[in-house]
Structure 1
């Protein structure tokens, strides 16, 4: 319903006639829900624009952009900017620079907004045409930013922001795993249907099979018998940790305090840790131990191209799923990020679909449910989207360091460690969610 309602808001960009027609066809919905989805759509459109710049057919066109055409006069002699290879990545950096700057600015503007009566509320919930024009104009202007050290400097901001978003993403994935298991175990306990029991076993088994398959492939393609000791350590160590985590999830003490804890959550976390391990060693500077996804199938010639490979696609799918999940989740779940009860979404006692204005004869479809208190922390919401933009920037560019040598185009030791450490943090966070009720029995962890 929120998506349909947001479509009506987007139609308002095209004029009053389109807005009136779409709104007349839409059910009523909360303004907070519609606004969040509109910002998620804005982020998605920005991501699509960044993806387009990586299309092979546009590389020749992008070589004519100002920062690339004038690179010889801007870049110091000890740094090489090869627009033939890196122009797509540098274009992504500029597009995401404007988008993240917009969300950071909105985060600052919306600090300490308490209700929709605040004068800043219309900036949050309206003026969509102006917002889109500002962002589009900013993206065009960003292509005139001289390269100099812009790319290499912005990369460090992107790496820090991407790492912070990975932490948020870890919390969301662990929370999703618990919510999924709670829902299915609850359905099984209520109905005692063997179908739900089979679904629990089937989903857990499938996740573990995919995880084991992934580990085997990592050993085959990213290690050699006498070399690649670091890759072997990462794969083996994370595999051992995943096994230990799965055992912990079914211990009697854990089951006593969390009866619905089980292998389904562990299988989801294990699958995500295997993905992070793959993503981490895919950024290893050791080219002998890092064939890259395309290098596995197309040989070493494809390894050092600017590409939008399967690793990036999987990363973007996980990223956007987390963005949507965080945009639509309830207050009880959002509190797990900042330990507060009004961070992202709060029901405020309102019923979805009830529009007080419509009940009084008004045709308004998007109704204000934040007159007394905001339904989510507007400033934190934009901060999270700014970090999400930086994460997608680093994902699209394979965590590429501008001005690095061409033989390490898709490699970055810092990003490798960011992802490997993130995998350890994911397991630590999940284990803590399992043992915390047993360690502190007098505290409420529901």
Structure 2
């Protein structure tokens, strides 16, 4: 029996070590041959992994390290640095919030510096974004460790906080564009699948049209139910009533504008309406007035989950869409996966035409077939006569700048945009007027942007808005 258990334990340990080695190799290694030209998505997985690592460290600093430093009586250079500027708060809760915010800023600033350096590096070497990742992770961790010895004021609580506010607002504006684009692409993708199925078998495309109709009706019903619940739980003051009323008016406005013309779709309008309802909920739960917010002082788990979920959806969509050729303005250039390698002069014009499209085009069914059709041209790869990859400027800088802006937004989302409210607590630091107004303003931007996409083709019929 002991020998059997030993064999099982040995096998399990071997599987674990093999899986861990494979994971570390995937995260830190360079799995592309040196002759494969880098694409716009080079290093994307490892860059996002570093972002997740920085968020994990920020949570540890905010909810672990900061309360520990406030609670201990030891006074040294590190504790004094973490409590710098926080001594003026009268209660331990507010001191923990202050120290926790600056702990988040330490991790976020390290990530921001890393992504800026990574963006600069591609100007000198195109393959820099996919190489030397073990050293890059070590560099990031050393930055975090070094910032632990830097006082809060003025680097974190003053300089970085204001930089992060600007970056966070930029990301919010871009996030609204992403969700409007997502709403359109969701509908267009299902319509394209319906047409494709209909061309293969008569009547088989109806299921996709039914799915569009059912999804649209379901989202509209959820929005209406959400409005009723918002009035019931958060309608105790004029500010919240105004937010909810404006949300309903804007939702009706976008739906009427969509039904009035041929632009947009019912599914897109329902997605935008549901998204606006979620943003309205996030805004009213940030209200620091106890009369307006019955959840004040407690753990608003639902709001946090919604906020994190929206951020994950946005990051995932941005991560793929920003690598699309039309988004980055790249044509006929190379892709990280080798789907659109540089075509040598010996290849035919037809082969060049096949290899013209590369990257990821969101919800474009035809792009898959085009990529497969151009597979033969891409599979040939570079010949032995081809020289090394030239160190020309790469579009990878856009990926790193996007992640730098995301870092600013995440740090602001975790710290209530740098405001510490006496009515909030460490479990829900996002409560505050700054967060409330920024969230509701982002809702207005998203709704007005969608309305513009509906009315602009009618106001300027001679211009191409496709």
Q: TM-score, normalised by structure 2?
A: 0.72
Unmatched tracts of structure 1, length 5 or more = 1-6, 114-118, 363-367
Q: In 2, distance between residues paired with 1:78 and 1:319?
A: 34
* Structure 2 CA distance for partners of 1:355 and 1:54, relative to 1, 3 Å: farther
Instruction: Determine the structure 1 residue equivalent to 2:347.
Output: none
Summarize the Cα distance change of 1:29–1:206 in structure 2 as closer, same or farther, 3 Å threshold.
farther
Partner of 1:244: 253
1:69–1:229 CA distance, 2 compared to 1 (3 A): same
- 1:38-60 CA-to-partner distances (Å, cap 9, x unmatched) read 22222222223323445569843
Partner of 1:380: 398
Residues in 2 aligned to 1:39 and 1:86: alpha-carbon distance in whole angstroms: 29
Is contact 2:86-2:99 (8 Å) kept? no
How does the TM-score come out when normalised to structure 1? 0.75
Matching residue within 167, 175, 185 for 1:169: 175
The alpha carbon displacement at 1:282 in A equals: 2.3
Relative to 1, partners in 2 of residues 1:44 and 1:370: Cα closer, same or farther, differing over 3 Å? farther
Residue from 418, 421, 438 that aligns with 2:441: 421
How many residue pairs are counted as aligned between the two chains? 393
Contact 1:165 1:388 in 2 (8 A): yes
Q: Alignment partner of 2:442: what SS?
A: helix
CA RMSD of aligned residues (A): 3.9
Residue 229 (str. 1) matches residue 229 (str. 2): no
Deviation for aligned residue 1:424: 0.9
Cα displacement string for residues 257-277 of structure 1 (whole angstroms, at most 9, x for unaligned residues): x3xx21110111111111222
The corresponding residue for 1:270 is 273
Alignment of structure 1 residues 19-418 onto 2, 5 Å = 31-55=39-63, 59-60=67-68, 69-70=79-80, 74-75=84-85, 78-79=88-89, 82-110=94-122, 113=123, 119-153=124-158, 154-190=160-196, 191=198, 192=203, 193-224=205-236, 228-251=237-260, 254-255=261-262, 258=263, 261-292=264-295, 295=296, 300=297, 302=298, 309-329=301-321, 331=324, 334=327, 348-350=356-358, 351=371, 377-402=395-420, 404-405=421-422, 407=424, 409-418=429-438
Change (3 A) 1:236 1:121: same
Deviation at 1:189, TM superposition (A): 3.8
Q: Is the 8 A contact 2:220 2:274 kept in 1?
A: yes
Q: 1:49 to 1:76 in 2, by over 3 A?
A: closer
CA distance in 2, matches of 1:242, 1:178: 16
Q: Secondary structure at the match of 1:397?
A: helix
Q: 1:359 to 1:385 in 2, by over 3 A?
A: closer
Cα distance in 2 for residues equivalent to 1:390 and 1:377 = 21
Q: Is the 8 A contact 2:257 2:451 kept in 1?
A: yes
> What stretches of structure 2 of length at least 5 have no aligned partner?
1-20, 341-355, 359-370
C-alpha distance in 1 between matches for 2:305 and 2:37: 32
How many Å separate the matches in 2 of 1:169 and 1:345? 27
Q: Match of 2:6?
A: none
The corresponding residue for 2:15 is none
Deviation, 1:421, is: 1.4
| Structure with bigger gyration radius | 2
Tell me: CA distance 1:287–1:247, structure 2 relative to 1, closer, same or farther (3 Å): same
